[in-house]
Amino acid sequence: MTKISLLEMGKTKKRNVREAILSVLSTEFPLSIKKIYNKVKKEHNLDVSYQAVFKIINGMLEDNVLEKLDKEYKLNIAWIKDLENELDMIKKSYMGYDNEKKEPLQDRVNSFIAEVAPKIKEYLGGDEACVVGVSGGGGIIFGVALFSYLLKEGVKASYIEYDRIKQEYQGKLIIPKKELENKKIIIVDSSIYTGKTHNTILERLSKVKKLFNIKGIKYAVEKDSIGLADFSREI
């Protein structure tokens, strides 16, 4: 089996332009839009227009993924550091232990449900819920546990995963309208450290809140280091 590194992911068969731009700027920088465009076309074999690349680069600039130096672009070091933090959280999650507490993951999930889930049920009232499990830091595990709890309690709910890496590459919300419409949204992650994921998700959901008639958006985590979550087990 071939191993695909982060830097090479833009060259896989399921690549997209945003991934290709990240791959290009991971190894050579800073570059002008024209040089980035040429590399995306030739080295990554993508059939894309210059205007499309220009638009995507500007979107990545607005999302602070890239920074501009005169007329050239490179990856934003702050974004790279945030990515490092997220990868570290993934590592902690897969190890199954919180490095600070050494508490088994299943015990943490059980405590989260016991302490936080009843408060979320009370908030939902009689409204239908959509539980959004955030991937990359254990959010899916806590999200599925919350979803199962709500179903057992007779709450009408659905569940969907928010792939933070894929969403970052796409630069926009890619959760289908049918999953959000006329519901109260409960975003579930394992923790909040920097607040980047929290702010990004809420910003993108707020843009479609009125359009999708979303009745409410709340954020639930096990551990909230900076006090941003609506529901948390620990602060």
Q: Could you report the per-residue pLDDT of 63-98, keeping only the tens digit for each?
A: 888 999 989 999 998 888 877 777 776 666 665 544
List, in sequence order, the alpha helices (H) in 69-209.
Answer: 77-95, 105-124, 139-152, 164-170, 177-180, 196-206
The dihedral of CA 18, 23, 29, 35: what is its sign? negative
- CA gap 216, 53 in Å, rounded: 35
Locate CATH 3.40.50.2020 in the chain: 96-234
pTM over 0.85? The answer is: no
Locate CATH 1.10.10.10 in the chain: 6-75
Assign domain 6-75 to its CATH architecture. Answer: Orthogonal Bundle (1.10)
* CATH entry 3.20.20.80 includes domain 96-234: no
Give the mean pLDDT of 130-152.
89
